Amino acid sequence: MNSIDKLIENLNKEQKEAVLSTEGPNLIVAGAGSGKTRVLTTRLIHIINQKKAFPNQILCVTFTNKAAREMQNRVMQHLKGSSNAIPWLGTFHSISVKFLRRHAEALGYKSNFTILDTEDQKKLLRNIVKAEDLDAKKFSPQLIMFHIDQWKNKGLLPKDIKLEKSGSIIKSILKVYEIYQNKTKDLNAFDFGDLILFCVKLFEEHEDIKKIYHNNFKYILVDEFQDTNFIQNKWLNLLVNNAQNICCVGDDDQSIYSWRGAEIKNFLTFDKIYKNCKVFKLEQNYRSTKNILETASHLISNNSNRVGKKLWSSSNQGELVKLNCYRTGKEEAQGVSDIIENKIKRKYSLNDVSILVRAIYQTREFEERFLQVGIGYRVLGGIKFYERAEVKDAISYLRIINQKFDDLALERVIGAPKRGIGESTLNQIYTFGKLNKLCLEDSIMKILEKGDFKPKIKTSLIQLINMILKWRKDSQNMKHYDLLKLVLDESGYSSMLKNKKDLENENRLENLKELLRAMQDYDNLQNFLEHVALATSIDQEWEGAKINLMTMHAAKGLEFDVVFLPGWEEGLFPHQKSLEEKGDFALEEERRLAYVGITRAKKEAFLSFAMKRAYHGDWMDALPSRFIGEIPDESVEKNEIEIIKTDDFEFNQDNSIEFDDEYRSPGWDRYKKNKMLKWKK
């Protein structure tokens, strides 16, 4: 038996059927942990080994370069091929570039075209906005790019867009889009969104070119098909020849990216578009215990728009899924930390432990706790809370208000938001300050007195300095967190983020709200700034293992021995804004996200919620997520805390180190010991 036959023989019955059924349209519904990559790779190897096609006659599409590399390496191991074993294996975008390099002339471009990156796009759009005399604050590059990307994902160039009752802003953005496309063509350039769109135009408008690839590609394989958007699906449809040997692999229950254009209906209607489609369901899970799978399967069964499958495992029953209730978000972070310290660390490496949150701002309380008790952690797919740009910007405002000699803080404030003050002006101020032994703020004021700035720069700096002086006075009579609210509004920082309508800026606004919440744990501005300085200066490159912190979206495709899923409360998860915008569709996607979160766990899963959580600076009663009511009682161990029933009970917001002696954990003891050692020094 050769290695390839052995490879097939080691597959389970359903996997083997999916691999061997090479002809016609095939849809492989691959549940979480069911070995989909293994099946897709084995199918590819089998096609080549059986001489059904040469490697260059197979189109294999992945969603990430990492997935493409992994698949290429696996194929090469078995086929002993060259470094380019499958020449048409790659992402939608990388393969599109190959098509366009070959046929650019047919679209009126040269084959040596440039691919614009995000910064190139922003620069070009800024120039257009300026030339069209549009309000730069109202028409930010991010806002325009958001709409352009949406149009391109739907296959729409400017000439294809028909606006009916849209407002003047959308009409102006459409005009910018038209100018932008003309400019990119003049530059002989494509942006990222153009790559797939122009391939579609190429195949739609040039039947002879499309026929070349119909004749060449005998088989098409697609990974993560549930994540395709409209234009990607159209791209695939145009490349399928009369034989219809297309095989798509994915899991409709893991379709969680509608916010970036993914359309689950591509998956759900595949067997209707391709009439003779065979559907294979991979339901045996090789990752998780039975209790974890039962919990996830029971939850996702509440969705109506799905192909339908039930995961099962031959592994042991495993630990019950734990459901913990805490009084506050802060106590939730402490509770999770204690579980890790008292139980998890004895059984697992911290590298195999993950905390998955619905929104990235939720990491803060866990980061704070881990910094306190000395547990190493990493934020995957994101940046640590106090290192996030918007958080650093806000803290810089507070630092310069707190003391005027903080030149670094003032320099950051000058550029956030942008005030038309460039590097040459800053060099002028710094040079003056050095000669006259003045801080940055005093240097600005002296140069203003002399009248040495250009009129626009002068006006901008006068406004800024006056605001800082005013805020210092305000700080004498205001709570420090109320002061920050005022600063963010009066500086124009909040409106800058609100005008850039995209998910990234929504997250930034949420991080600033969480920063305001964090400030309430401290008596005054000085104490809070000291805390931030210590938190960011602590050597976080701990040797050894680290806990993984990330969003559930970022966790897709990953697995861990132990997974914590905090914040399962109505409004937070499912997310209220998603529900308001998309109703039942959003609810099903949120439930799919819950399913993804639970199925990341191999051995143990912990769900939790808080009874109260601070929101926009106020304590709000929280209701357990409706998803908690959808998980089976027999798979879950519920741990309720003892609630103190007094009318005047106040939730403890104190973040100092003065806890009751009864509050014990290994990490807390270690923290206090380290603190004492530092004090002795």
Task: Indicate which residue of 254, 334, 425, 551 is catalytic.
Answer: 254
CA–CA distance, 542 with 53 (Å, rounded to integer): 51
CB 222 within 8 A of CB 249: yes
CA–CA distance, 598 with 592 (Å, rounded to integer): 10
What is the distance between the terminal CA atoms of the chain, rounded to a whole angstrom? 70
Query: Count of alpha carbons within 13 Å of 180, Cβ hemisphere only?
Result: 30
Task: Indicate which residue of 36, 74, 309, 327 is catalytic.
Answer: 36
Residues whose CB falls within 8 Å of the CB of residue 107, separated by 6 or more in sequence, listed in order: 100, 198, 201, 202
**How many CB atoms sit inside 10 A of residue 79's CB?**
17
Angle at 568 between CA 567 and CA 570, to 5 degrees: 110
Residue 281 β-bridge partners: 29
CB 471 within 8 A of CB 487: yes
Q: Which two tokens stand for residue 83?
A: 């470094």
Number of H helices, E strands in the chain: 29, 16
In b/e form, how buried is each residue of 140-165, taking b as 16+ CB within 10 angstroms? Answer: bbbbbbbbbbebbbbbbebeeeeeee
CA–CA distance, 314 with 285 (Å, rounded to integer): 8
Q: Would you give the DSSP letter of residue 258?
A: G
Task: Indicate which residue of 14, 191, 224, 251 is catalytic.
Answer: 224
Which of these, 297, 353, 340, lies nearest to 603 by C-alpha position?
353
661 as an active site residue: the answer is no
CB 296 within 8 A of CB 593: no
CA–CA distance, 547 with 370 (Å, rounded to integer): 9
- Burial of 52: CB neighbours in 10 Å, binned 0-12, 13-18, 19+: middle
CA–CA distance, 99 with 89 (Å, rounded to integer): 13
- Sign of the dihedral through C-alpha 95, 97, 103, 106: positive
600 as an active site residue: the answer is yes
Query: Count of alpha carbons within 13 Å of 54, Cβ hemisphere only?
Result: 6
Task: Indicate which residue of 14, 191, 194, 223 is catalytic.
Answer: 223
Rounded to the nearest 10 degrees, the angle between the axes of helix 168-186 and helix 141-153 is 80
CA–CA distance, 674 with 668 (Å, rounded to integer): 10
Task: Indicate which residue of 37, 121, 289, 328 is catalytic.
Answer: 37
91 as an active site residue: the answer is no
36 as an active site residue: the answer is yes
Residues whose CB falls within 8 Å of the CB of residue 318, separated by 6 or more in sequence, listed in order: 288, 289, 290, 291, 292, 603, 604
The type of residue at 564 is F
Task: Indicate which residue of 38, 384, 419, 600 is catalytic.
Answer: 600
CA–CA distance, 385 with 379 (Å, rounded to integer): 9
**How many CB atoms sit inside 10 A of residue 643's CB?**
10
| Residues recognised as catalytic | 36-37, 223-224, 254, 600
